Structure 1
Amino acid sequence: MMREFEIERQFNIKIETIKPSKGIYYVKSNKGERCLKKINYGPQKLLFVYGAKEHLIKNGFKNVDRYFLNIDGEPYAMVNEDLYTLSEWIEGRECDFHNLDEVKVAARTLAELHEASKGYDPPENSKLKSDLGRWTHLMNKRIKSLDKMRDMVRKKNNKSNFDLLYIKSMEFYKELGRKALETLEGSKYEELCVLAEKEKSFCHHDYTYHNIVIDKDNNYHIIDFDYCKREIRTFDISNFMIKVLKRVEWNPEFADTILESYNEVSPLLDCEYKVLYAFLQFPQRYWRLANRYYYNEVNWGQNAFGNKIETIIAEQDNMLKFLDYFKNKYNID
């Protein structure tokens, strides 16, 4: 547990109640309700995130979990070499990705976020976070790592259920990854990176249901900008689309609604659809799950891993049908 009096001293508050809640702390203080969070990266990256939120607010995108500053004007408290942030506690419920109307508003909100992100110059002493221009390299590396993980399985004497499912399914996803890389290499990805660099825009990078909080007045608040970085916007859009589509059996109506709503605010260029398609094709969820399993990144139980890989494999037909639909509808060559 962190030393509470240090939090109180540095943020100049009095804590009345403190309760852990999904990886954060709910704090009731003499100055109102707050969200206290331990940060697992350094102060320079945090300053990039802080600056990004302040930039959005300045550009009229105000519904974010804004940081409070400490007594020295910094957006964090340093306690025993651990960093903590304090932000507004946003009361509300998570966005329902099964509800087409809520998905529609979430898509429009994402477009507004991207528009408001333009022109961001990070604070001088911050560390620039950027994935611009990296995706051909990342896809290539991840495709190769699928082979490496298969070799690890082959050396195991006692193979788990996950191992057997991985061996059986891995070639399918590797091929899908190769096709995604081909799509990306045949697109205007590099030009779009140059454009994003010029626009000085950024992405949320974790735009999903639990980071979209709907309050009692039906206002949509976007929280948890920990992963935000310079990135082309089609990454955020594809990530959001996949998070929705996997919940609705890859129903194309949801994909079309997301793009229509997004385009109402910030129209996509024709060349962006091919890059979007490459991100939709790439088996990111499959790679990430296997990576977590074989490199012990999270300690879920064997059953949890087994269930997750089964769920991904069970979606294959619906996903392929959707990819065909998307390719034809948006004339991707």
Structure 2
Amino acid sequence: MSITRDIEETFPVTIRKTTRIRDVYRVLTVKGRLLCSKSYDIPEPEMHFIARVMMHLAEAGFHYGPRIIQTKSQAQWAIRKGKPYMITNWVRGRSPNFKERSEWKKAIRTLAEFHQHAEGIALDEIPAGRDRVVFLPNMIEHYRATISDHKGIGDISAFLSLFDIATSYINQPKSLEAIDHEKSVRAFAHGDYNYPNLVLDRKDAIHLIDFENASLQARMTDLAHILHRNHAWNGEDMLRWIEYYDRIRPLSNEDRHLLYAVLHVPNPLVRAIRLNKSNKTIENEIPQTTTIDQYVTALRIMI
């Protein structure tokens, strides 16, 4: 059965056209409405978690997350070819260009506003695969193993030193208090907050899409992620944008200790290895020792 017929039989829409775009379908209804159909390769309890995250944001008043289109039976998703899939609104716009300061600034502001609402999710039971906040120290050790076990990229001692700092600070009382707080308020993170999963609409507002990696997690992991992806090894720039985030959603002293720890994880190198980049490409991306030293020195002002 075609995707068009499946959707029309399950959801209260009549379709004029469907267009495949990467891993989703853009759906144009006869009324001119644009929708997004996305399938997920995850267990149904995790699908329920993702749907609950989206619904929580809408109920909390966050206007820039996906809006779920319910099925004819008022369900948040359906099953097609053995996999859950969901219909949401399609945001008309484009990926933001982070080389444009104004658009990067909007991304940090939107992240802070999203994090203001990203807590208190109401679920009787959280799927084990989505309950990740208490495993943050273990994640750092897993990343260390990823680098240590990778062969052929030369001297990694400087990166292991960064892991030593990250491990030391993630286990300090203030960082552990931050983790406990995030757990107690049922905080959640987007899990992949960066320009491919952000849309700048025609009114210059940024919308979040693709919550496939959302989980109960410390919100500082989102901030660290976008800083690592766009200001890698530039501690001074990171500090500037952390302070901008702080003006919108004030950071506690405990948050800052946790963020300080996570920013010492050399995520750019971990990501390059996980993407199976060639050793030559990875070596070309490795900063000089002096750059790493300057980065570490700059971050010290955080705490």
Instruction: Please give the TM-score of this superposition, normalised by the length of structure 1.
Output: 0.82
**Are the structure 2 counterparts of residues 210 and 292 from structure 1 closer, same or farther at C-alpha, using a change threshold of 3 Å?**
closer
1:250 pairs, out of 210, 234, 241, with 234
2:258 maps to 275
Mapped to 1, the partners of 2:288 and 2:131 lie a distance apart of 31
Instruction: Determine what percentage of the aligned residue pairs are the same residue.
Output: 21
**Alignment deviations for residues 152-192 of structure 1 (CA, whole Å, 9 cap, x no partner):** xxxxxxxxxxxx3x2x1434323322332122223522211
Q: Is the 8 A contact 2:46 2:127 kept in 1?
A: yes
Give the CA deviation at 1:61: 0.5
Q: Is the 8 A contact 1:46 1:126 kept in 2?
A: no
1:312 aligns with 2:295: no
**Are the structure 2 counterparts of residues 277 and 251 from structure 1 closer, same or farther at C-alpha, using a change threshold of 3 Å?**
closer
1:324 aligns with 2:303: no
Give the CA deviation at 1:205: 1.3
Q: Is the 8 A contact 1:205 1:236 kept in 2?
A: yes
Give the CA deviation at 1:104: 2.1
2:99 maps to 98
Counterpart secondary structure, 2:224: helix
Mapped to 1, the partners of 2:135 and 2:289 lie a distance apart of 27
Q: Name the amino acid aligned to 1:6.
A: D
2:65 maps to 64
Q: Is the 8 A contact 2:235 2:299 kept in 1?
A: no
Give the CA deviation at 1:290: 2.2
1:117 maps to 118
Q: Name the stretch that deviates more: 64-73 or 183-192.
A: 183-192
- Structure 1 vs Structure 2 CA RMSD: 2.4
Mapped to 2, the partners of 1:289 and 1:175 lie a distance apart of 19
Count of aligned positions:
301
**Are the structure 2 counterparts of residues 98 and 2 from structure 1 closer, same or farther at C-alpha, using a change threshold of 3 Å?**
same
Mapped to 1, the partners of 2:161 and 2:207 lie a distance apart of 38
Q: Name the amino acid aligned to 1:66.
A: R
1:75 aligns with 2:76: yes
1:301 maps to none
**Are the structure 2 counterparts of residues 324 and 126 from structure 1 closer, same or farther at C-alpha, using a change threshold of 3 Å?**
closer
Mapping for residues 166-181 of structure 1, pairs under 5 Å: 166=153, 168-181=154-167
Q: Is the 8 A contact 1:187 1:274 kept in 2?
A: no
Q: Name the amino acid aligned to 2:297.
A: D
1:37 maps to 38
Counterpart secondary structure, 1:66: coil
1:192 maps to 178
Q: Is the 8 A contact 1:37 1:86 kept in 2?
A: yes
Q: Is the 8 A contact 1:94 1:214 kept in 2?
A: yes
1:234 aligns with 2:220: yes
Mapped to 1, the partners of 2:224 and 2:8 lie a distance apart of 41
Mapped to 1, the partners of 2:65 and 2:280 lie a distance apart of 34
**Are the structure 2 counterparts of residues 17 and 125 from structure 1 closer, same or farther at C-alpha, using a change threshold of 3 Å?**
farther
1:7 aligns with 2:14: no
Counterpart secondary structure, 1:68: coil
Give the CA deviation at 1:193: 1.7
1:140 aligns with 2:141: yes
1:220 pairs, out of 206, 223, 243, with 206
Q: Is the 8 A contact 2:12 2:71 kept in 1?
A: yes
Q: Name the amino acid aligned to 2:116.
A: E
Q: Which runs of 5+ in 1 are unaligned?
A: 151-163, 294-303
**Alignment deviations for residues 208-245 of structure 1 (CA, whole Å, 9 cap, x no partner):** 01222111111221111111111112111111211220
Counterpart secondary structure, 2:103: helix
Instruction: Please give the TM-score of this superposition, normalised by the length of structure 2.
Output: 0.89
Mapped to 2, the partners of 1:83 and 1:172 lie a distance apart of 44
**Are the structure 2 counterparts of residues 8 and 126 from structure 1 closer, same or farther at C-alpha, using a change threshold of 3 Å?**
farther
Q: Is the 8 A contact 1:47 1:126 kept in 2?
A: no
Q: Which runs of 5+ in 2 are unaligned?
A: none
**Are the structure 2 counterparts of residues 181 and 125 from structure 1 closer, same or farther at C-alpha, using a change threshold of 3 Å?**
closer
